[in-house]
Amino acid sequence: MWKKVAAVVLVWALAFMGGVVPAAAGEKEVMSLSLEEAIKMALDRNPEMSLNQHGIEKAKVGLREAKSNAKKLEDAMDEASKDPQQDPLGLYNVTVQNLFGVYVTPRQAEMGVVLAEIGASYGEKGLRLSVEKSYYDVLKAEADLANKEAALERAREQLRLAQVSFQAGVVAKNDVMGAQVAVTAGEVELASSQNELDLAMMGLAKALGVDLETGFELTDKFTFSPVAELDTGSYIKELLETDLGVVAAREGLAVAEISFEQVAKIYTPNVYSYRKAFHDVEKAKIQLEQARTDLVFNVRQSYLNLRTAEKAYLLLEENAKFAEETARLASLRYQAGMATRLEMEKAYDQLNETEAQRLSMLYNYNLAKSQLEYGIFFGSTRVSGAAGAQDGMGL
């Protein structure tokens, strides 16, 4: 009883403070949309996709420029070595700076092209995953709204039964008052769920790049579809070649190694420059190993989460059926005077909670499937690690 009263007070208080946003007035444009259509729309409208392509082309231009400059420098060094009089100032002597210009700078430019291409692919996958999440957010909010509507109808039926029992002299007035509070709480929770749906709709509209007031009629349903067993070893091996963090670390190591090779041509191990270049290589090796470890951990963790969510969902499905039957029997016992209203209310509260848990687990399951499909894992630090690898190479 007091939980119901507290819920009513809290939600209405949030409403007055702006925590619960009322549904927008007036008609909304409604767009019928499948998940694939939503993804295509986002890809067509998102400017980042075009910017990524420009980034690739710019990196390729930089590579051609680096190779051209390296060739000119190498030719000048060859001429200077054959006839020192052509280079009286010694500008084209064999120095670390010149060796870097011939060998390291082009390799850095190659790294730039590789990361631009991998980054563009990663960006597209990230956008796809973002749209899927927004789509699932709407489906989840719609299902939650339907659950709240069903819960409100059950609360109204409980109120009706309480009123009938009170009129028959079977229960006290307090039962009717308690049932009325439950109805009021259900109405507030329904309004809150409607607001959550409106917010989810706006989130999807933002992801698609359309007017935020646009409504959606989603044609794909929020269902449970078991996935086949995943060969994590093969999956990880494939992902090691395309993962942004791993590729960035691998490219960073290649640049560090070729830089060290040039330094070693000029300096001996007791020189600071030699020792710093050596430590750069060791650092790059550690970063590559960390990136690989992070990837393996994220894949295995996500797959375990997926399987856990699958088992939990199947269990919650059975629990929901049991809770529904328990609530039905509690209602019958109440009508027969064999149970109190609080017992009946507790059974229905358990049903509502189980339905909410089932829906949440279904959402988590579908999202985990998408993360594995795209090879992008929430909470991963591998993207920032990739940026760090580039910064470390002076890119």
The CATH superfamily holding the domain 26-392 is Outer membrane efflux proteins (OEP) (1.20.1600.10)
Residue 26, pLDDT score = 52
Taking the complete model, does pTM exceed 0.85, yes or no?
no
Count how many residues are written for the chain: 395
pLDDT digits (tens, 9 = 90+) for 313-337: 999 999 999 999 998 998 888 888 8
**Residue stretches of the chain with pLDDT short of 50:** 1-25, 380-395
Q: Kindly list the domain boundaries of the chain, sorted by start residue.
A: 26-392
Residue 379, pLDDT score = 52
